[in-house]
Structure 1
Amino acid sequence: MSIKEDDGTVKPYTHAAAGWGALKFVALNLLKERVQGSNYRMLFGQNQPGGFDCPGCAWPDREHASTFEFCENGVKAVAAESTGKRVTPAFFAAHTVTELMDETDYELEQHGRLTDPMVYDAVADRYMPIAWEQAYALVARHLQALPSPDQAAFYTSGRASNEAAFLYQLFVRAYGTNNFPDCSNMCHEATSRGLPQTVGVGKGTVVLEDFEHADTLLIFGQNPATNHPRMLGELRECARRGATIVSINPLRERGLERFTSPQHPVEMLTMSSTPISSMFIQPRLSGDLALIKAMAKRTLELDEEAQAAGAPRVLDADFIGRHTSGFEAFAQDLRNESWGLLVAESGVPREQIEALTQVFVRGRRVICTWGMGLTQHKNSLLTVTMLSNLMMMRGQIGKQGAGLCPVRGHSNVQGNRTVGIEEQPSQAFLDRLQQVFHFDPPRHHGYDVVRTIEAMLAGEVKVFMGLGGNFASATPDTPRTWAGLRQCELTVHLATKLNRSHLVHGKEALLLPVLGRTEIDMQAGRAQGVTVEDSMSMVHISFGMNQPASPNLRSETAIVAGIAHATLGDAPIDWLGHAADYARIRDLIERVFDDFHDYNARVAKPGGFHLKVASREMEWSTASGKAQFLVHPIDRASPLQRARERHGEKLMTLMTTRSHDQYNTTVYGLDDRYRGVFGMRRVVFANADDIAMLGFADGDWVNLVSVWDDGIERRADRFRLVSYDIPRGCMAAYYPETNPLVPLSSYADGAGTPTSKSIPVLLEAA
């Protein structure tokens, strides 16, 4: 039964994911964005060797020569960039920053593309036009005036190309700091910090072709239908050839139930679909570590039972003996662990754990994939390494059709880290920079996202520069983040469209409009291509096809070079010369990173090339030279557990999530159709029994109040309760609306990722 309010509608969604619904919303988005007819051709070229690569997610392309290899969310990203709507100097003349702050994130997105560089005028409370060279000089003046380079922080979005990111990190290190907060700090940092401890490399061990050979896929903490829709095409093929697919996620997501592929006419014409997951496991929020450890414990028990019966072993003893260390200590810890504790902390009944483990041990070639459902908890690094432990028990790393598959978000978030966007650089990398560029880079670690915000609040960071992204909306503890940004002497943002971060500014502020990846990038009379690295370490090049939205746009690479030249001059690095031909930047990358040998030649081939991942080849870049089993106890006194002890069953655990009509902080529309929400965003999904226990009814309006022990009130008001299939004690709501509830001091141990998937909250009537 539908629940109707003025703000929107909630009604069940009974169709398969994708299908005609996806094509309908593709058409609606093209109309809404006023994409000109001549630009529709971009949809058929976005994955071709001669066209641009989709600027959306980091899922790899099956065929770069495909004519129709795109998804609904990819079209939304492309349409948003190719919109006919413009944000001109006249727009800023008509709107003060204070007026614009009253608009929603969706409304800000709908204004269109930025066209000219702008500088903030505090007296008029407006952005005013500024010439490019004057903008560069303003940044240089602020940077040169700082007593220490560490008083500046340089953020990077996952949209930045390898070329822009490499030049950016080179400029910042030549300037003298390693302060590189980036989007990795807020998503897969637990993966990047955890996997090197177990298998030696912070990347996945599979390539796309491995999905053709896998017989079992375990999907942890992920919603592919919204976040990586093209992944569903691979899962569809796996399901149709008989592979077992298990969804392990607190929310039962529609896309992992049934999927209609727009790429397959028979399914479209017959209104049929392909079932995807055959099993759904719903752990409580922050319960994945206990669940995976329980699977490991049961796997060990099955092996010991098999040995006692004289049956074939369940563990891969050969792999463990030849390729790993630390197994005996790990196994003893599993034997000593309490089943009662594992069941209670995971929130999964023991019989379901045993059934899930049976699926795992029957699999001869198993791929484990995961998203931010695993990485945004206090124990997320331990969870990722425990998953690695589990896979090593069965030798499921380093063979065809099996392995670890973290699925990154933005299109080049992995590539940015590869080419040097890293606040904790290795000494070997810094040595190579010194050797190639003849300057002494800073050796101390810099600030990540959380530490940058803390430093801004303390007055220790006075200049903030953002290479893309929406820092003010993506980060935790929203009021405190905004206060930190407003204390800066200068904030600088490189962007394609207006967003919240441009309105939460420092005492001085610059808004610098950039070319999108869909647009032709001409430098020194030649069209330039840019490269990215996807989630499976494939590097490929793409060229824009559309005319720029404005003649006054510049590429990210050109802007970075202009600021670097104004700040540091042209010795020992010829910034402007390198930016005139991106092939020169790729030559520099090759000189710093051996794995990029013959970069320009290899990337010129259709599909590009695969960067070596040593663990895929059973080479273990660890101190012992072997893959390492790690022992992890279950924390019995976490902040979440302490909050439960104080507040009892009224304490709920909240996860932030995105709707189907958004990508990261970019809100394309107000519908989340797979979850049955239309025309609104201030909703909170909760178990029907919890709604009743708390004294509310489905459809009531509530306020959310965060529970933390630092004396700061954190709240998000007026959210509509929506009954949903989620475990007792757990709730979900969209970000950035609920980011104010995430305490700045609540982050993953050893990774620093904000705990956006395990926020203790209380509800009160709105």
Structure 2
Amino acid sequence: MSEKTSTSETAGSVPGVKPYDGPAGGWGALGAVARAVKEQMAVGREGAALRKVNQPNGFDCPGCAWPDPDHHSTFEFCENGAKAVAWEATAKRVTPAFFAEHTVSELWNWSDFALEGEGRLTDPMRYDAASDTFQPVPWDEAFGQIGAALRNLPEADAAEFYTSGRASNEAAFLYQLFVRAYGTNNFPDCSNMCHEATSVGLPASIGVGKGTVTLADFDHCDALFSFGHNPGTNHPRMLATLREVSRRGVPIIAFNPLRERGLERFLSPQSPKEMLTGDATEIAKSYYQVRIGGDLAVLKGMMKWLVEADAVDLEQGGNGLLDREFIAEHTDGVQALLDDLRDTRWDDIVSRSGLSRADIEAAAKVYARAERVIICYGMGMTQHRHGTENVQQMANLLLLRGNIGRQGAGIAPIRGHSNVQGDRTVGITEKPDAALIEGIRRTYGFTPPAKHGHDAVAAVKAINEGRSRALICLGGNLAVAMPDPDLTFAAMRKLDLAVHIATKLNRSHLITAGQSFILPCLGRTELDMQASGPQSVTVEDSMSMVHASQGGLQPASLQLRSEVAIIGGIAQAALPESTIDWQGMVDNYDLIRDGIESVFPAFRDFNERVRKPRGFRLYVGASERDWGGPGARAHFLLAPGLDEDPGLPADALTMATIRSHDQYNTTIYGLNDRYRGIAGRRDIVFVNADDLSARGLAHGDLVDITSLAVPGLSDPPMVRRYTAVAYDIPRGSVAMYYPEGNGLLPLAAHDPQSGTPAYKSIPVALRPAAA
């Protein structure tokens, strides 16, 4: 398929909007890295940190969770990884003097970019309502007051304990141990907002909630399908892998509503020849711009063609296209799937997907010709009302031809945060299973609660209704990340206690409770010195590799404590009668890893294995065609109909929230979105030119965007005075930046199975902006 220009070339000039014709990577990436380092004004400190990123005896990048290669190069970081390191290793500081000069009311009016741009937090702070400022508080006093507040709650379930995916395995394990000893399973987690549909959908299908491939499998696949993700911005180190796959002549087939530059072509900054010649590598051989919410129809269409072509091949004396031996030996439920596909009409598939039947069949033929297929996917598949079913239909497609559990084939959910998968592995879950409960009882001598706790959506509901009175956040920016900020912000102001463990100031910290604390912690880049000496932590990447990370920079402040030390301090204050040796584990993280090994036998010989370069891979049963134990089988699972997002108004545009290239989740590094041709602004909505024309609008017009997610509201949610940009996006689909678009998504709009908010399917109307 021919490449199109991202931003309309024929439309009039709009400030800050200009087509970008360069490839992903290249000189643009190097220039962005140089600017990021310069703007943070710590060239020596950041330079030393960048030389240690993703290196043996160095630290794991605080950005994405893409795995490290077997053979390291001098520079094992990408543009956005360098931005993340510069953001953390900055010379800028947010000291007590800063808080004394700025009231919370004043700071609330700052942009999110400006708040985090002030630099690293240096001292523990407590909110003083009389002066409307945060004021310094000694660590022991902060721990004592937090512990007393937790003990004074009417029940343990009145507290919520949030976790960001950048927390290490050691911090996450200690955190969940403390919370379960405290007596609750209320674990709202960042994974609830991104890949929870994976964690729920895949175990029912293939017996494990993780991807089945390793990085080495990409060397052996002979077709790769990409659904709903943007590697050039969200996990740029993946581009090096995609480059190698493409240069082997392997077809890469992309399905995505927007043409993302990282899936089109890539110029490797680590290749002197490419940088000198400008000879970029084509990534996707075919790029299909599916309508937002049309992925389920595409998947069922591909499977329908495969089944129909299989029948024709058998009639002609062939062996068929399905792997019947694999299906018979390893799976259940195929007949129900075949019946569902037979009853699904091609006209409906085409209408819902926004693609032609010929396009869908062409993609299916590539799949059928390949012996080893990998499917990669991101939040474009999970952040829908039926995100769980989306994940399961991708698994169905792979199972039909035996493409799980063999070299060069499998499913690859592409995670965002660097340890979001590891946090879940070591116990950050609101739904503990019997093995986790028994492991904790056996190791630590108490029986944790079995009752399911709150995920992120349930936590905000409980806070809003007054059932939850305390919130402790291990990193992150929960209030900004959640849908429906009007409800979320107001709910969190009702809390009796709010505690934020963080490296930088963000908006969630400014939503004050009866008692509010900001506790500054070490970053991934910094030396973590405890009583037994310098400590390393561990992380798990998207492909289940566990490896060590050890920072070397001097801490940004002598007052900083590690996440582990802060959790241990709160635990000792909140549970003074506990027999768990919290301080011993703070003093020596080997003891935490011993505990992880005891509770989770998959971590056998943890301390020994993690000290080896690149660490080790956790056992993933489906990779070995073990579907959950003896006699277990993989399951073909149905997704009724073709609608990822049922109940949307027929006349609505469907909006997806997206990240800019100068952004990592809620962290805004800058105001540019280079690959989409946006500079110096975020007040943008991307719209098909014909959709603009049909509404009497034009490129560059100011528009008001109204949510249609809740029919009949007299005063529906709205964002005002955004600039409409004519863009190469399917008709009926629009996009705007996250978290700016969150105000258009009600808290109730989520996948009922996984609780994942439907950030990629918000029904909206566009109108000329009111004066």
Q: Confirm whether residue 561 of structure 1 aligns to residue 568 of structure 2.
A: yes
Q: 1:756 aligns with which of 741, 755, 759?
A: 759
User: 1:141: Cα distance to partner?
Assistant: 1.0
Is 190-199 or 29-38 further displaced after alignment?
Answer: 29-38
Is 65-74 or 747-756 further displaced after alignment?
Answer: 65-74
User: For residues 527-564 of structure 1, what are the alpha-carbon distances to aligned partners after superposition, in whole Å with 9 as ceiling and x for unaligned?
Assistant: 10010000000000011011000000000000000000
Q: Distance in 1 between matches of 2:496 and 2:577?
A: 26
Q: Distance in 1 between matches of 2:516 and 2:72?
A: 42
Q: Confirm whether residue 694 of structure 1 aligns to residue 695 of structure 2.
A: yes
User: Alignment RMSD, CA only?
Assistant: 1.3
Where does residue 150 of structure 2 map in the other structure? 143
Counterpart of 1:9 in 2: which secondary structure? coil
**Any conservation in 2 of the 1:3–1:9 contact (CA below 8 Å)?**
no
Where does residue 671 of structure 2 map in the other structure? 670
* Residue correspondences, number: 758
Is 363-372 or 36-45 further displaced after alignment?
Answer: 36-45
Q: Distance in 2 between matches of 1:376 and 1:149?
A: 30
Q: 2:221 aligns with which of 211, 214, 226?
A: 214
User: Structure 1: which amino acid aligns with 2:194?
Assistant: C
User: 1:697: Cα distance to partner?
Assistant: 0.5
Q: Confirm whether residue 746 of structure 1 aligns to residue 749 of structure 2.
A: yes
**Any conservation in 1 of the 2:159–2:468 contact (CA below 8 Å)?**
yes
**Any conservation in 1 of the 2:494–2:513 contact (CA below 8 Å)?**
yes
Q: Distance in 1 between matches of 2:389 and 2:470?
A: 34
Return closer, same or farther for 1:163/1:637 CA change in 2, 3 Å cut-off. closer
**Any conservation in 1 of the 2:299–2:397 contact (CA below 8 Å)?**
yes
**Any conservation in 2 of the 1:221–1:373 contact (CA below 8 Å)?**
yes
**Any conservation in 2 of the 1:196–1:622 contact (CA below 8 Å)?**
no
Q: Confirm whether residue 96 of structure 1 aligns to residue 107 of structure 2.
A: no
User: For residues 652-694 of structure 1, what are the alpha-carbon distances to aligned partners after superposition, in whole Å with 9 as ceiling and x for unaligned?
Assistant: 1000000000000000000001000000001011101001111
**Any conservation in 2 of the 1:39–1:546 contact (CA below 8 Å)?**
no
Q: Distance in 1 between matches of 2:111 and 2:646?
A: 32
Where does residue 634 of structure 2 map in the other structure? 627
Q: Confirm whether residue 462 of structure 1 aligns to residue 449 of structure 2.
A: no
User: For residues 292-344 of structure 1, what are the alpha-carbon distances to aligned partners after superposition, in whole Å with 9 as ceiling and x for unaligned?
Assistant: 01111111001001001112311111110111111112112111211122221
Counterpart of 2:740 in 1: which secondary structure? coil
Q: Distance in 1 between matches of 2:362 and 2:427?
A: 43
Counterpart of 2:685 in 1: which secondary structure? strand
Where does residue 535 of structure 2 map in the other structure? 528
Is 238-247 or 499-508 further displaced after alignment?
Answer: 499-508
User: Structure 1: which amino acid aligns with 2:417?
Assistant: H
Q: Confirm whether residue 33 of structure 1 aligns to residue 40 of structure 2.
A: yes
**Any conservation in 1 of the 2:37–2:46 contact (CA below 8 Å)?**
no
Q: Distance in 1 between matches of 2:424 and 2:127?
A: 32
**Any conservation in 2 of the 1:45–1:67 contact (CA below 8 Å)?**
no
User: Structure 1: which amino acid aligns with 2:760?
Assistant: K
**Within 5 Å, which residues of 2 pair with 1:411-422?**
411-422=418-429
Q: Confirm whether residue 280 of structure 1 aligns to residue 273 of structure 2.
A: no
Q: Distance in 2 between matches of 1:73 and 1:638?
A: 32
**Within 5 Å, which residues of 2 pair with 1:358-507?**
358-507=365-514
Counterpart of 1:154 in 2: which secondary structure? strand
Where does residue 319 of structure 2 map in the other structure? 312
Counterpart of 2:177 in 1: which secondary structure? helix
Q: Confirm whether residue 50 of structure 1 aligns to residue 73 of structure 2.
A: no
Q: Distance in 2 between matches of 1:475 and 1:283?
A: 26
Counterpart of 1:654 in 2: which secondary structure? strand
Where does residue 124 of structure 1 map in the other structure? 131
User: 1:749: Cα distance to partner?
Assistant: 2.5
Return closer, same or farther for 1:101/1:609 CA change in 2, 3 Å cut-off. same
Q: Distance in 1 between matches of 2:727 and 2:631?
A: 47
User: For residues 115-159 of structure 1, what are the alpha-carbon distances to aligned partners after superposition, in whole Å with 9 as ceiling and x for unaligned?
Assistant: 000000111110000000111111111110011100000000000
User: For residues 468-524 of structure 1, what are the alpha-carbon distances to aligned partners after superposition, in whole Å with 9 as ceiling and x for unaligned?
Assistant: 000011111111110111010111000000111111121220000000010000001
Where does residue 740 of structure 2 map in the other structure? 737
Where does residue 707 of structure 1 map in the other structure? 708
Where does residue 662 of structure 2 map in the other structure? 661
Where does residue 325 of structure 1 map in the other structure? 332
Return closer, same or farther for 1:3/1:97 CA change in 2, 3 Å cut-off. farther
User: 1:624: Cα distance to partner?
Assistant: 6.2
**Any conservation in 1 of the 2:46–2:90 contact (CA below 8 Å)?**
no
User: 1:440: Cα distance to partner?
Assistant: 1.8
Q: Confirm whether residue 595 of structure 1 aligns to residue 596 of structure 2.
A: no
Q: Confirm whether residue 235 of structure 1 aligns to residue 238 of structure 2.
A: no
Q: Confirm whether residue 293 of structure 1 aligns to residue 296 of structure 2.
A: no
Structure 1 length as normaliser, TM-score?
A: 0.97
User: Structure 2: which amino acid aligns with 1:364?
Assistant: E
Where does residue 303 of structure 1 map in the other structure? 310
User: 1:4: Cα distance to partner?
Assistant: 5.1
Q: 1:334 aligns with which of 332, 338, 341?
A: 341
**Within 5 Å, which residues of 2 pair with 1:505-544?**
505-524=512-531, 526-544=533-551
Q: Confirm whether residue 681 of structure 1 aligns to residue 688 of structure 2.
A: no
Counterpart of 1:696 in 2: which secondary structure? coil
**Any conservation in 2 of the 1:47–1:66 contact (CA below 8 Å)?**
no
Q: Distance in 2 between matches of 1:550 and 1:751?
A: 40
Q: Distance in 1 between matches of 2:752 and 2:575?
A: 37
Q: Distance in 1 between matches of 2:449 and 2:20?
A: 54
Q: Distance in 2 between matches of 1:520 and 1:120?
A: 29
Q: Confirm whether residue 719 of structure 1 aligns to residue 726 of structure 2.
A: no
Counterpart of 1:720 in 2: which secondary structure? strand
**Any conservation in 2 of the 1:300–1:315 contact (CA below 8 Å)?**
yes
**Any conservation in 2 of the 1:434–1:441 contact (CA below 8 Å)?**
yes
User: Structure 1: which amino acid aligns with 2:332?
Assistant: S
**Any conservation in 2 of the 1:49–1:64 contact (CA below 8 Å)?**
no
Q: Confirm whether residue 174 of structure 1 aligns to residue 188 of structure 2.
A: no
Q: Distance in 2 between matches of 1:59 and 1:241?
A: 21
Is 177-186 or 572-581 further displaced after alignment?
Answer: 572-581
**Within 5 Å, which residues of 2 pair with 1:155-194?**
155-194=162-201
User: 1:763: Cα distance to partner?
Assistant: 1.1
Q: Distance in 1 between matches of 2:646 and 2:132?
A: 42
User: 1:637: Cα distance to partner?
Assistant: 10
Q: Distance in 1 between matches of 2:323 and 2:644?
A: 35
Q: Distance in 2 between matches of 1:39 and 1:634?
A: 52
Return closer, same or farther for 1:613/1:233 CA change in 2, 3 Å cut-off. same
Where does residue 6 of structure 2 map in the other structure? none
Where does residue 345 of structure 1 map in the other structure? 352
Q: Distance in 1 between matches of 2:369 and 2:42?
A: 50
**Any conservation in 1 of the 2:206–2:627 contact (CA below 8 Å)?**
yes
User: For residues 56-78 of structure 1, what are the alpha-carbon distances to aligned partners after superposition, in whole Å with 9 as ceiling and x for unaligned?
Assistant: 00000114743211100000000
Is 434-443 or 579-588 further displaced after alignment?
Answer: 434-443
User: Structure 1: which amino acid aligns with 2:122?
Assistant: T
Counterpart of 1:746 in 2: which secondary structure? coil
Is 416-425 or 498-507 further displaced after alignment?
Answer: 498-507
Q: Distance in 2 between matches of 1:667 and 1:507?
A: 29
User: For residues 392-449 of structure 1, what are the alpha-carbon distances to aligned partners after superposition, in whole Å with 9 as ceiling and x for unaligned?
Assistant: 0011000100000000010000000000000011122112211211112111000000
Q: Distance in 2 between matches of 1:750 and 1:662?
A: 29
Return closer, same or farther for 1:146/1:125 CA change in 2, 3 Å cut-off. same
User: 1:638: Cα distance to partner?
Assistant: 5.3
Q: Distance in 2 between matches of 1:195 and 1:327?
A: 16
Q: Distance in 2 between matches of 1:713 and 1:624?
A: 52
**Any conservation in 2 of the 1:47–1:64 contact (CA below 8 Å)?**
no
Return closer, same or farther for 1:309/1:474 CA change in 2, 3 Å cut-off. same
User: Structure 1: which amino acid aligns with 2:761?
Assistant: S
Q: 1:552 aligns with which of 552, 559, 576?
A: 559
Q: Distance in 1 between matches of 2:736 and 2:585?
A: 45
